[in-house]
Structure 1
Amino acid sequence: MLFGPEESLAECQTIEFKEASVCLPDDVWETYSAFANTEGGKIVLGIAEPSPGVFKVEGVGDARTVMRQFWENVRNPQRVENDVMLPDGVSIDCSYGVDLVVVNVPRAERHMRPVRVYDKKMKSFVAFVRRDVIDTRCNDFEMRLLEYDALPAADRRAIEELDISALDGNTIASYRQLFNGNKPGHPWSLESDADFLYRIGALAKDRTGRLCPTLAGLLAFGHEYEIVGHLPYFLLDYRNESSGNARWDDRLTSNSGDWSGNLFDFYFAVMPKIDALLLTPLSVSQDGASHRFTNDVKDAVHEALANALVHAYYGGQSTVRVIVKDEQIVFENAGSFLVDRNVAIAGGISDPRNPTLMRIFGMVGISDRAGSGLCTIYATWKKKYGSAPRLSESYAPAKVVFELPIDCSVAGDAGIRGTVDEDTLLLLCRKEQGITAEEAAQFFGVLPRAIQKRMKKLESNGVVVHEKKGRSFYYKVRQTEK
């Protein structure tokens, strides 16, 4: 059977049932638009819903006629703006003993979004999105996201109300040093800052020929207050929550006011923080400019960070968040998938939301994998940790979440360079002031989270206790009453 026993039939984000005993139902086009603008999905014609959440297989009276009606309408520009269907996208299924018509609606390619259909009540073309089992009209934020994604280089447009002073000079100098180390002898190295930034896409000419920051240039090199002036909800947020003993052990946000707050500086501020947790220090070239990675795990984590920054949508609730937890590293960015999730994981297709931003990062050796980034991360994680990353998409607002699970017990050479002997650990805890997880981790050559997990177990068994001194937690052997 197509979806299992009749009594277990249920709709979801990618499945919609509709009654079609006589003809093609008119509301099929709302679902067609919603699926095309979201993740894609199956519309199954011939299954009724006599009461909410209860479905009954009734079949389609004349399946061939209903198929013909669908194809005629989907190709009618007065009914549907964009036909995203594949040639074999409609079929007849007889697994329930009656004819059902199954319409496989693919996720629309970015240049075809938003997919609008004619709404007879509104007397205009309307775009829908799928939210769980509901087809709903796009709100303003969702429309802006779909329209932004449809533009081939939306992040290269000039922001005419700004000039080069909106960009941070120190960030530009750091970037140019990396560029020179990554591309020694490149002719652009001799250019002025303005000409150099124009060539890499960080500046563009307005209608009068004046150089202005592009959206990509503002995001990569801008002062945070200038970015927020143009994108009010812009926020970069890094949090280390790995100890589990506080809201966070370390935090870096773009709105703190004590650093530039742009993407380039965020990337290079967060990298060493994650490096320290992974116990794999960064390797640099002799001139201190170009960067190389010491192992596959850190390479994968840096690629995930770059992906979150490059593929984020910065036009709405545009937060990029990196959270280090006890057993995973989580990357979140605003926006939705541009290609099917499985296609993105398989690799070979590079379709960045912000191609100019990717170009800027790629010029210094960051995020230059040409579509193989996710594929490489998945292969690395399965090899080193024995588990696959988790890539998911949520809505309202649209957000992509990428989780890298870290199981210290199977990490092998992925940054875990020793084992924890419990007797020795307890001896360290007998020091007068106790010992922190970081100190013990350095002693054993393991990650701090491995010590934290062991300490939690010992504490739950009543063997050790912890107390906070400043920002650190010190573990001591529990004193027994005499």
Structure 2
Amino acid sequence: MKKQTKLSIQWFYNLLERGECDIMDFKEQLEDKMSFGKSLKNFAPKYDETARDVVAFANHKGGFLFIGIVDDSKEINKDFVYQDSKVFELIHQVQDRTEPTITLIPHKINVEGKDLLVLEIPFSTQLHRTSRGEFLIRSNDGNRPIEPYEMATIMAEKGLIVYDQKTWHISGEWLDQKRLSKLHDMIEAKNADSPYLDKSQDDLLDSLGMTKDEGGEVLPTTTGLLFVGNQNALRELPYYEVKYIHYFEDGTYKPYEYKGNIIEVATACFNQLKAEIRQKEYIFGLFREYVEDYSEIVIRELLVNALAHRDLSRQQIIEIRKYDDGGYLEIESPGTFPEGVTSENFLRKTNPRNPNVMDILREIGLAEKAGSGFDKIFTDLLKKGKSLIKPEETETSVIFRVKADVVTEKLIELSLQYENQTGKAIKLDELLVLSEIVKHKQVKFADLSSAPNISTYRLQSILDKLQKLEFVETSGKTSGLSYILHISKRKNTSDKIDYVTNKKQDKARQKEAILRYLDSVDTINNAEARELLKLAEKDRSKVSRLFAELVKEQEILKTEDSKPNNVIYRRISKG
């Protein structure tokens, strides 16, 4: 068994607060099939019940069974007794009652002086059933049977099937020659030297994953139906649809529906959203910038992301909602994040759910290379002074929400200054760092390195570059070192007051360091002060000014043995 730490106790209480849900359940006792030394014939149902729980968790996303907790009150069962023999018997019985076999991971945890049992059901890439043939899945309301139409979705989420490579038996002709010709033209327009252009029709369909040979029969795949399938074939995918509703400020709304061919859906929906874009003008000295409520870049990338990465096995449509009154647009795509991708790492982590679909979208120029789509979204939002998107993951979908309002004009101005100064567009990593500094005004390196999406590996080189370009500068020394916006990039009175305040605080700390040094050591000269304050030779005059101010404040005075090239100071006694 695994050794638990104090952290496990906090983890235990955190989960306990959530109550019974889709990842945990509670049981009061480790049941015993022996009573007064005799075997209970009716004890098997107890193991069957546990096996049902385990199968349901394994078919979902894994979970935990807490043994020794009263289900209703969530209090510790004082009568619970942890016994290794019972634990291993339970694990063995569950193995016998699950197919494929599920092996539980037991954890012993001591809470309030009582040893409790936590059985961990790991996430499984297999589809499990009980020995009685029951396919179950866990939800917030407990266990329930898996419906037939859900099988493909669950298998796709577990990676047992890649749904865009699923084959279809279509009655009659499935291929739309006009759509195939259009796809061919788009590939050529993107890359006139593409190797796909020299292939025969059959080879093109096969190499792009739009058809597959199964038992000597060439069948269309989901990818094939989406890109070049005719209307008859597209009936097999009734939920491949985008529903867009525009809610106006006066309370009225207008709905739009787009369904069928993926290229036609993307084009029609994007053109509608693009037609509704509104701009606002911002002026920064000689610079002029027009900022859209929702830019073409953000709309296109989010729309293509939803069309390409949606869970094709789910009987759900893509929904887009724009609220003029609330000032935001949201796109809800069927399916949760793919394995390994979360709402925290989605900018840097990729795991395409529909790889064939993505390959073709890249080949025709509708999608970016892996991982660069959200880079473009984040860069555009920050350059326009917008807040970054924070995805919301529900049980069946992911929602990306974009706000229309500008939250900081300063980032717009800095982006324009960067491009004017360097002749190049500012990069995302630099924008993320500048955004944190503008937001917090003064930020330490440690805080920057722990900020979301900032690369710790590249952080120092980014800061060095921004310092060299005079976009940021340092404030304070050693442990108090922090980064602030450079004085040359501060235009308004409020910014300059912040700058002066930070610099005054630095000087006060330096003076205090010199005085504390003199409390322990009798004298100090310029060289010693520079070493104390971690300053370079070029800061000699700066240290001399500090000494002059301390003399004026009657804190220190020159010693009698001072020389013109080596002035020595001592503390004035206050006694």
TM-score computed with the length of structure 2 as normaliser: 0.56
The 3-state SS of whatever aligns with 1:57 is coil
Pairing of 1:9-158 with structure 2 (within 5 A): 10-22=19-31, 26=47, 27-49=49-71, 53-58=72-77, 60-69=80-89, 71-73=91-93, 76=95, 79-83=98-102, 89-108=105-124, 112-118=125-131, 123-124=132-133, 126-149=134-157, 150-158=159-167
Residue type matched to 1:12 in 2? Answer: C
How far 1:11 moved relative to its partner?
A: 1.8
The 3-state SS of whatever aligns with 1:54 is coil
Q: Is the alpha carbon distance of 1:4 and 1:135 closer, same or farther for their aligned partners in structure 2, counting shifts above 3 Å? A: same
How far 1:43 moved relative to its partner?
A: 2.2
Separation in 2, partners of 1:415, 1:166 = 50
Q: Is the alpha carbon distance of 1:9 and 1:174 closer, same or farther for their aligned partners in structure 2, counting shifts above 3 Å? A: closer
Contact 2:278–2:293 (CA under 8 A) maintained in structure 1: no
Q: Deviations over 1:112-158 (max 9, x none)?
A: 2323233xxxx23x222122131112111222322344434443244
How far 1:381 moved relative to its partner?
A: 5.8
Pairing of 1:23-422 with structure 2 (within 5 A): 26=47, 27-49=49-71, 53-58=72-77, 60-69=80-89, 71-73=91-93, 76=95, 79-83=98-102, 89-108=105-124, 112-118=125-131, 123-124=132-133, 126-149=134-157, 150-162=159-171, 165-205=173-213, 207-209=215-217, 211-228=218-235, 230-231=236-237, 233-245=238-250, 248-249=253-254, 251-254=256-259, 261-278=260-277, 298-315=296-313, 317-326=315-324, 327-339=327-339, 342=342, 345-346=345-346, 350-370=350-370, 384-394=385-395, 399-410=396-407
The 3-state SS of whatever aligns with 2:318 is strand
How far 1:355 moved relative to its partner?
A: 2.7
Specify the structure having the higher radius of gyration (Cα). Answer: 2
The 3-state SS of whatever aligns with 2:319 is strand
Pairing of 1:386-465 with structure 2 (within 5 A): 386-394=387-395, 399-410=396-407
Higher helix share: 2
Contact 2:128–2:135 (CA under 8 A) maintained in structure 1: yes
Contact 2:126–2:160 (CA under 8 A) maintained in structure 1: no
Q: Deviations over 1:237-275 (max 9, x none)?
A: 231414244653351332xxxxxx311211122223333
Q: Is the alpha carbon distance of 1:377 and 1:129 closer, same or farther for their aligned partners in structure 2, counting shifts above 3 Å? A: farther
The 3-state SS of whatever aligns with 2:74 is strand
How far 1:351 moved relative to its partner?
A: 3.6
Separation in 1, partners of 2:376, 2:85 = 47
The 3-state SS of whatever aligns with 2:307 is helix
Separation in 2, partners of 1:194, 1:35 = 44
Return 199-208 or 133-142, whichever deviates more: 199-208
Contact 1:239–1:252 (CA under 8 A) maintained in structure 2: yes
Separation in 2, partners of 1:8, 1:83 = 27
- Structure 2 gap segments, 5+ residues each: 1-8, 34-45, 280-291, 414-575
Separation in 1, partners of 2:340, 2:15 = 29
Q: Deviations over 1:51-85 (max 9, x none)?
A: xx4333116412534543455456x3653415476
Separation in 1, partners of 2:14, 2:187 = 60
Q: Is the alpha carbon distance of 1:321 and 1:349 closer, same or farther for their aligned partners in structure 2, counting shifts above 3 Å? A: same
Residue type matched to 2:246 in 1? Answer: E
Contact 1:267–1:306 (CA under 8 A) maintained in structure 2: yes
Residue type matched to 2:342 in 1? Answer: N
Contact 1:202–1:214 (CA under 8 A) maintained in structure 2: yes
Residue type matched to 2:169 in 1? Answer: E
Q: Is the alpha carbon distance of 1:349 and 1:317 closer, same or farther for their aligned partners in structure 2, counting shifts above 3 Å? A: same
Question: Percent identical across equivalent pairs?
Answer: 19
Contact 2:51–2:130 (CA under 8 A) maintained in structure 1: yes
Q: Is the alpha carbon distance of 1:107 and 1:375 closer, same or farther for their aligned partners in structure 2, counting shifts above 3 Å? A: farther
Return 90-99 or 384-393, whichever deviates more: 384-393
- Structure 1 gap segments, 5+ residues each: 255-260, 281-293, 417-482
Separation in 1, partners of 2:70, 2:254 = 53
Separation in 2, partners of 1:106, 1:296 = 42
Return 357-366 or 261-270, whichever deviates more: 357-366
Separation in 1, partners of 2:19, 2:361 = 44
How far 1:16 moved relative to its partner?
A: 1.6
Q: Is the alpha carbon distance of 1:131 and 1:415 closer, same or farther for their aligned partners in structure 2, counting shifts above 3 Å? A: farther
Q: Is the alpha carbon distance of 1:405 and 1:385 closer, same or farther for their aligned partners in structure 2, counting shifts above 3 Å? A: same
The 3-state SS of whatever aligns with 2:253 is coil
Q: Is the alpha carbon distance of 1:376 and 1:203 closer, same or farther for their aligned partners in structure 2, counting shifts above 3 Å? A: same
Separation in 1, partners of 2:182, 2:410 = 32
Indicate the structure whose relative CO is greater, using CA pairs within 8 Å and at least 6 residues apart.
1
Residue type matched to 2:113 in 1? Answer: G
Q: Is the alpha carbon distance of 1:137 and 1:171 closer, same or farther for their aligned partners in structure 2, counting shifts above 3 Å? A: same
Q: Deviations over 1:88-120 (max 9, x none)?
A: x53222233311222343433xxx2323233xx
Q: Is the alpha carbon distance of 1:5 and 1:355 closer, same or farther for their aligned partners in structure 2, counting shifts above 3 Å? A: closer
Residue type matched to 1:322 in 2? Answer: I
How far 1:188 moved relative to its partner?
A: 1.9
Separation in 1, partners of 2:91, 2:21 = 24
The 3-state SS of whatever aligns with 1:48 is coil
Computed over aligned residues only, the root mean square deviation of the Cα atoms, in angstroms, reads 3.9
Contact 1:35–1:105 (CA under 8 A) maintained in structure 2: yes
